[in-house]
């Protein structure tokens, strides 16, 4: 065979394989969309499961997912951003910096179920039980709860936040920092007023990606706080004194229902898998829709940010 | 710096307030029930109907397997545990070490059915045959009078009370064959056997009774006795055979509580064991406690 | 991605100290930031400690040999040696052989399949696709990476497994092969994006040189670019395999969860991850099975740790070779 023919065949093969992946994705998403579309309506999204989970909606799972990802990002974002700032702005190429980077890379490669084990062994049993011992008065913190599930997820998404923040920070040209120093600014002033504002988009991208990751992970929350069916939402009503008002607040010590866990449970352990199949598809469609939406906005944000010229 | 920091702090402080305010939580009249997958529909129905009549009580029911429920009871993370097997002595010991005294209640009975695909012509099996099938000694349907096909075994996870009960009473404490596929719930077993003409499965009879793609196999205690089915010819559950244990794989369904039940928990348990609770048992196609026990 | 962060940032240092005012607040801020910087190190160290702390205690009640094989009697009371994982019963068995074998029986075919598609995709993105196509396809690949694994597992369980059985006629509907297909889908984006990055890092001069010598596009790719970026591609495959071994939800839903010692990918298997996921919720804390599960987790963590280490060494080698 002539070289030209080999070239055409090889390039065609590579193109074909790449397209097959996209085709598989489209088929996957398509089958979920088709299976789930007929179930989704306003009631599905706003009411809870009934009739032994064979009918009704998935609102508690949606609510639980929102709660857990909010709590998770609240814990992970400050930690991750500060760690990234230290890594890129302060520690340079020292051994510490290399150690931090190596740890981040390793953390990114830990299996998700190991995070689940860590969540049980460290957060619930060690931290939670210790708090209970100090408090005195029974088991409150030392059991599965939204707080610990969120903490576990926060450790899991930490690398995502650190890496995207570090990328965003290093993308800011050196000249900007040098200009700030030339004007007499301290390191922190430079970072907080010059570098960080320009890295905002990258940090936001990282946050969105980690929210998407947190909503989709199931293994870490299997035993750290998720529940199969709860009769009420994880809120507690606080009464405001002297006004007779009561404000609903998220209760981080409660267990919660969650979308990805709901899919797993309904697909494997529901009372009649054939009857609940439409609900399974519907829940999957909601979760996929959520993650696709988040990922698309993150990617779009990053594209727009990269296209905007950084030097003004 | 001050502007940006303060602007960033406000939502952070807000979130802290929202979350921190929720910390001192402990709802009164809150009962948690965890455990047997076999009993989870029953548990949910009991909870639903009881809560309708007693709205000040919240009952939270989760499944996960009898082992999960008992583990939760031992760990102190649940009020009541549903179990389709009796609690083991070492579990009682562990609970005692955690200062929990476990109290046992027999709440219902169940016939553990053995099912095959509706296309399978098998008419009956002896208890020993079922045991030998599940331990791997019988590997082909023709060895028990069926077609020449490999037997595909469907079983449960080790946290399941059904798994443990079956192991003790049918397998005589031997191991399940290594190629038994572990399904996470009885409904998964039902679905798998319904799709597999060579399959065999087991579980609470309520899960299989109304599925046209499955056949429940009558079981004989040994070669000399008549095979008995947990279902009567009309499709109703065979209460008498289960009550007097002439159906060889009949079992009790238990509710365990952490310590002597008091207050709201006692009221709930009394209701379950009383006529209202037992009527629900019957409605969901489980077997209520035999009449003499009341 | 994690590997990109290894690009050293030297901004901020190297300026004479007298040019920077060190205010009193600076020290506090830097200390606070340093504390956070150590959080990643602390996290990994803590995971290590708490996993092994519980896992090692398993040896207190279970002799190490029992993690390989155990003793049992068969129906005729003949003693025999078995390799089974059946932790619940009167004679608990803790052999990890079926679990480790199961994990690899899923991870190896998955990695092989994903390498084929992922590297092809990466080469396509870096060398063949036009600029506009690339701007569409690369985000699409990243979107694939964003699909939660429980969704893939659900798809395998509900649709793919039956499809495979109808096409290939295998005996067990849920088996290692179906699991491997699902896992492969999840790790293709990992391999594809890293291969793409690795190939784009290859200097253009090499390509131009090849063209100047008369090579066509395919020959340039196959004999110049890919060998130059080989370390990066190898790193991506290693990372993909690490991810495949660590995957939980897909294997939990699609492999049948039978702990048997087999090399047949069409048999049902039970992976280390699925074992932990299925059993941890049901064990009393501090009990024997609980500790055994932590030990399985420790073993899994160790395996993936070394695979990730190998990947990092490959990346470092790539950077040295390309003098980055």
Which subunits count as partners of chain B given 3+ CB pairs below 8 Å? A, C
Mean pLDDT of A296-306: 81
Of the two residues A50 and B1, the one the predictor is more confident about is A50
Within 8 A of B286 by CB-CB distance, chain A residues are: none
pLDDT at residue C323, as a whole number: 65
Secondary structure (3-state) at A183: coil
Of the two residues B279 and B236, the one the predictor is more confident about is B279
pLDDT at residue A191, as a whole number: 84
Side-chain-side CA neighbours of A174 within 13 Å: the count stands at: 8
The answer to whether B242 and B146 are in contact (CB under 8 A) is: no
Q: Do the Cβ atoms of A268 and B4 come within 8 Å?
A: no
Q: How far apart are CA B81 and CA B72, in angstroms?
A: 8
| Confidence bin at B19 (pLDDT 50/70/90) | very low
Residue of B nearest to C260 (CA): B178
Within 8 A of C93 by CB-CB distance, chain B residues are: 175
pLDDT at residue A161, as a whole number: 92
Within 8 A of C9 by CB-CB distance, chain A residues are: 87-89, 92, 166, 169-170
pLDDT at residue B90, as a whole number: 81
Q: Does domain A33-307 have CATH number 1.10.3720.10?
A: yes
Q: Do the Cβ atoms of B181 and C267 come within 8 Å?
A: no
Separation in Å, CA of B169 to nearest CA in chain C: 12
Q: Structure pTM?
A: 0.85
Within 8 A of C260 by CB-CB distance, chain B residues are: 178-179
B40, B62, B71, best to mutate vs chain C, most C CBs in 10 Å = B71
Separation in Å, CA of B143 to nearest CA in chain A: 32
DSSP B184-214: SSHHHHHHHHHH-TTEEEEEEGGGTTT-TTE
Option in A193, A252, A272 nearest B1 (CB)? A193
Lowest mean pLDDT among A19-23, A144-148, C320-324: C320-324
Residue of C nearest to B168 (CA): C89
Residue entry with tokens 């059915």 = B113
Q: Which long-range contacts (CB under 8 A, 24 or more apart) does A127-131 make?
A: none
* pLDDT higher than threshold 50 for residue B3: no
Option in B4, B19, B207 nearest A71 (CB)? B19
Within 8 A of C163 by CB-CB distance, chain A residues are: none
Reading the block at residue A270, the tokens are 């529901």
H or E segment and range at residue A292: helix A273-307
Within 8 A of C178 by CB-CB distance, chain B residues are: none
Within 8 A of A152 by CB-CB distance, chain C residues are: none
Would you call B63 an interface residue with chain A, using a CB distance cutoff of 8 Å? yes
Within 8 A of C41 by CB-CB distance, chain A residues are: 99-100, 103
Separation in Å, CA of C11 to nearest CA in chain B: 21
Of the two residues B293 and A150, the one the predictor is more confident about is A150
Option in B21, B27, B63 nearest A249 (CB)? B21
Lowest mean pLDDT among A182-196, B8-22, B255-269, C249-263: B8-22
pLDDT at residue B292, as a whole number: 57
Separation in Å, CA of B239 to nearest CA in chain A: 23
Q: How far apart are CA C198 and CA B119, in angstroms?
A: 56
Secondary structure (3-state) at B216: strand
* pLDDT higher than threshold 50 for residue B22: no
Lowest mean pLDDT among A242-246, B68-72, B240-244, C2-6: C2-6
pLDDT at residue C104, as a whole number: 94
Secondary structure (3-state) at C217: helix
| Residues 86 through 125 of chain B touching chain C, CB cutoff 8 Å | 91, 94
pLDDT at residue A137, as a whole number: 65
Overall residue count recorded for chain B in this entry: 294
Separation in Å, CA of B64 to nearest CA in chain A: 9
* pLDDT higher than threshold 90 for residue B7: no
The answer to whether A161 and A80 are in contact (CB under 8 A) is: yes
Separation in Å, CA of C183 to nearest CA in chain A: 13
Q: Do the Cβ atoms of B175 and C93 come within 8 Å?
A: yes
pLDDT tens by residue, A203-214: 888 899 999 999
Would you call A301 an interface residue with chain C, using a CB distance cutoff of 8 Å? no
* pLDDT higher than threshold 50 for residue A52: yes
The answer to whether A255 and A144 are in contact (CB under 8 A) is: yes
Mean pLDDT of chain B: 82
DSSP C84-107: -EE-SSSS-EE--HHHHHHHHHHH
Mean pLDDT of chain A: 84
Secondary structure (3-state) at A14: helix
Secondary structure (3-state) at A148: helix
Within 8 A of B47 by CB-CB distance, chain A residues are: 231
Reading the block at residue B93, the tokens are 């010991």
The percent of residues above 90 in pLDDT, for chain A, comes to: 17
Low-confidence residues in chain C, pLDDT < 70 = 1-23, 73-76, 323-324
ipTM computed for the complex:
0.86
Separation in Å, CA of B22 to nearest CA in chain A: 4
| Confidence bin at B211 (pLDDT 50/70/90) | confident
pLDDT at residue B5, as a whole number: 46
pLDDT at residue C7, as a whole number: 37
The domain spans of chain A are 33-307
* pLDDT higher than threshold 50 for residue B2: no
Q: How far apart are CA B105 and CA B118, in angstroms?
A: 36
| Confidence bin at B29 (pLDDT 50/70/90) | low
Q: Do the Cβ atoms of B158 and C261 come within 8 Å?
A: no
């Amino acid at each position: 065979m002539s070289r030209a023919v080999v070239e055409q065949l090889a390039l065609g093969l590579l193109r074909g394989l790449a397209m097959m992946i996209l085709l598989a994705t489209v088929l996957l998403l398509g089958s979920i969309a088709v299976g789930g579309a007929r179930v989704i309506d306003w009631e599905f999204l706003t009411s809870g499961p009934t009739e032994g989970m064979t009918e009704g909606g998935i609102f508690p799972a949606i609510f639980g997912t929102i709660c857990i990802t909010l709590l998770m990002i609240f814990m992970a974002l400050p930690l991750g951003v500060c760690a990234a700032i230290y890594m890129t702005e302060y520690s340079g190429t020292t051994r510490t910096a290399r150690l931090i980077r190596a740890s981040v890379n390793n953390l990114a490669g830990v299996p998700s179920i190991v995070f689940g084990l860590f969540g049980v062994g460290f957060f619930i049993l060690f931290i939670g039980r210790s708090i209970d011992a100090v408090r005195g008065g029974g088991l409150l913190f030392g059991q599965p709860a939204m707080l610990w599930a969120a903490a576990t997820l926060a450790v899991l998404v930490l690398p995502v936040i650190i890496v995207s923040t570090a990328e965003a920070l290093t993308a800011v040209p050196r000249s900007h920092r040098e200009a700030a120093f030339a004007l007499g600014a301290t390191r922190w002033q430079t970072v907080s007023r010059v570098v960080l504002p320009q890295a905002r988009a990258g940090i936001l991208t990282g946050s969105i990606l980690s929210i998407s990751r947190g909503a989709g992970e199931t293994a870490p929350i299997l035993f750290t706080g998720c529940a199969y069916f709860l009769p009420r939402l994880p809120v507690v009503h606080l009464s405001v004194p002297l006004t007779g008002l009561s404000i609903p607040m998220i209760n981080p010590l409660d267990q919660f229902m969650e979308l990805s866990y709901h899919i797993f449970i309904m697909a494997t352990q529901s009372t009649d898998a054939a009857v609940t199949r439409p609900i399974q598809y519907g829940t999957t469609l909601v979760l996929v829709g959520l993650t696709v939406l988040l990922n698309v906005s993150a990617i779009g944000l990053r594209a727009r940010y990269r296209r905007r010229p950084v030097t003004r | 710096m001050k502007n940006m920091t303060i602007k960033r702090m406000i939502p952070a402080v807000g979130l802290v307030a929202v979350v921190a305010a929720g910390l001192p939580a402990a709802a009164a009249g809150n009962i948690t029930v965890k455990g047997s997958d076999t009993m989870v529909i029953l548990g949910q129905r009991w909870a639903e109907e009881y809560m309708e009549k007693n709205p000040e009580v919240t009952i939270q029911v989760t499944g996960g397997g009898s082992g999960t429920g008992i583990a939760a009871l031992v760990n102190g993370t649940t009020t009541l545990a549903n179990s389709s097997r009796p609690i083991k002595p070492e579990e009682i010991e562990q609970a005692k070490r955690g200062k929990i005294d476990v109290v046992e209640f027999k709440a219902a009975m169940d016939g553990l059915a053995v099912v095959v695909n509706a296309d399978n012509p098998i008419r009956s099996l002896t208890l020993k045959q079922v045991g030998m099938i599940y331990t791997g000694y019988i590997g082909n349907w023709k060895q028990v009078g069926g077609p020449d096909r490999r037997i595909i075994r469907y079983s449960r996870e080790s946290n399941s009370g059904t798994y443990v009960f079956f192991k003790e009473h049918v397998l005589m404490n031997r191991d399940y064959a290594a190629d038994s596929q572990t399904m996470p719930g009885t409904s998964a077993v039902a679905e798998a056997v319904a799709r597999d003409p060579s399959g065999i499965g087991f579980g609470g009879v309520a899960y299989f009774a109304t599925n046209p793609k499955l056949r429940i196999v009558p079981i004989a205690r040994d070669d000399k006795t008549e095979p008995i089915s947990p279902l009567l010819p009309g499709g109703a559950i065979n209460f008498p055979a289960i009550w007097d244990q002439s159906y060889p794989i009949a079992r009790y369904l238990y509710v365990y509580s952490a310590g002597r039940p008091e207050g709201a928990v006692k009221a709930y348990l009394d209701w379950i064991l009383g006529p209202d609770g037992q009527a629900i048992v019957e409605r969901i196609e489980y077997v209520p406690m035999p009449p003499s026990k009341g | 991605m994690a590997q990109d962060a290894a690009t050293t940032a030297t901004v901020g240092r190297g300026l004479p100290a007298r040019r920077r005012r060190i205010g009193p607040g600076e020290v506090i801020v830097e200390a606070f930031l340093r504390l956070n910087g150590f959080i990643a190190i602390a996290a990994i160290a803590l995971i290590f400690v708490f996993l092994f702390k519980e896992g090692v205690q398993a040896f207190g009640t279970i002799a190490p040999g029992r993690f390989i094989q155990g003793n049992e009697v068969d129906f005729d009371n003949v003693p025999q040696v078995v390799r089974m994982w059946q932790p619940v019963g009167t004679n608990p068995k803790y052999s990890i052989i079926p679990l480790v074998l199961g994990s690899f029986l899923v991870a190896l075919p998955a990695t092989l399949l994903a390498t084929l598609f992922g590297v092809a995709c990466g080469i396509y993105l870096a060398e063949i696709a036009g600029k506009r196509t690339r701007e569409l396809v690369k985000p699409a690949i990243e979107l694939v990476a964003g699909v939660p694994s429980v969704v893939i597992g659900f798809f395998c369980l509900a649709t793919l497994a039956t499809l495979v059985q109808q096409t290939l006629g295998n005996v067990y509907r849920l088996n290692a092969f179906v699991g491997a297909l699902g896992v492969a889908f999840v790790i293709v984006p990992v391999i594809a994006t890293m291969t793409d990055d690795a190939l784009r890092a290859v200097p253009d001069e090499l390509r131009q040189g090849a063209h100047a010598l008369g090579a066509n596009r395919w020959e340039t790719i196959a004999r110049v670019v890919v060998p130059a970026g080989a370390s990066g591609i190898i790193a991506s495959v290693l990372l993909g395999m690490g991810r495949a071994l660590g995957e939980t939800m897909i294997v939990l839903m699609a492999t049948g969860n039978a702990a048997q010692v087999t090399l047949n990918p069409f048999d049902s298997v039970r992976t280390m991850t699925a074992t932990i996921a299925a059993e941890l919720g049901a064990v009393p804390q501090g009990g024997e099975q609980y500790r055994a599960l932590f030990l399985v987790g420790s073993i899994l963590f160790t395996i993936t740790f070394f695979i990730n280490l190998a990947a990092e060494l490959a990346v470092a080698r790539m950077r040295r070779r390309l003098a980055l």
